[in-house]
Amino acid sequence: MKRFVAAFAGAVITFSMAGAAMAFSGGAGISADEALARLKEGNTRYVAGAAVTPRQDAARRHETATGGQHPFVSVLSCADSRVPVETVFDQGIGDVFVIRVAGNVANTDEIGTIEYGTEHLGTPLVVVLAHTKCGAVTAVVKGEHVTENIGKLVAPIVPAVASVKSRFASGDLNELINRSIEANMWQAIADMYAKSPLLKKMAADGKIKVVGALYDIDSGDVHWFGEHPSNANLIGK
């Protein structure tokens, strides 16, 4: 029995080491700017109705099943069913490391997953993808009653909305919602750096670039905002 346990433990360690070696093999081998260009090109095809839906066949499934995943970007997106990330950017299996959560908030689970994408999978680019008509942000703007768990989930959105309301108190509801959606996107990036020394250091060292974007659920177009307006201060440069 002891020999069996020892052998099993050895097998687990060997498997874990092999998995770790594969995980640290380094992403898709492209720069953040190249990754961004690939996303922009894919979204252009998608909006034009000329999507090629690449790398989604049996050969690609086999390639990623046997060779592991090597995505070129990590995307923090809302869980809204109208925001199918790989489709929006016309990418295939294993291309995009997607983290989806209501309101595209950056809290412990989301940040930890992004850390995995950047450090272990080697994605040079991180995109916080907000979208128009976001239900989570709208609920906070309107002060709607939510369950206890949803309240905890959307808590990171509250500072963004409060900031918008303090600066645009006379704005109509739609304006407040739209401005809050953008502010919440920036809030997620700020939270990411504030709560992750790893991501902050990787950004400061030029190993990753974190940018914000907004997806229009009607037109399909992605508007790119770039890095946080206070990026240098956030990463300590």
Is residue 95 annotated as involved in ligand binding?
no
> What's the average model confidence in pLDDT over 48-68?
97
Note the Cα 42 to chain centre separation in Å.
17
Is 109 assigned a ligand-binding role in the annotation?
Answer: no
Q: Which domains does the chain have, with CATH numbers?
A: 2-235 (3.40.1050.10)
221 among the known binding-site residues? no
Check whether 10 has a pLDDT greater than 90: no
Kindly list the distances between the CA atom of residue 190 and the CA atoms of 10, 160, 183, 185, 217, in Å, as whole numbers in the listed order: 42, 11, 10, 9, 25
Q: How far apart are CA 126 and CA 117, in angstroms?
A: 9
State percent of the chain over pLDDT 70: 89
Quote the pTM value: 0.88
Q: pLDDT tens for residues 140-174?
A: 999 999 999 999 999 999 999 999 999 987 779 99
Q: How far is CA 119 from the centre of its chain?
A: 14
- Decide if pLDDT at 15 tops 60: no
One-letter amino acid of 73: V
Instruction: Give the pairing of strands 222-226 and 125-131.
Output: unpaired
* pLDDT range class, residue 21, cuts 50, 70, 90: very low
228 labelled as ligand-binding? Answer: no
Q: Is the pLDDT of residue 58 over 80?
A: yes
Return the pLDDT at 27.
Answer: 67
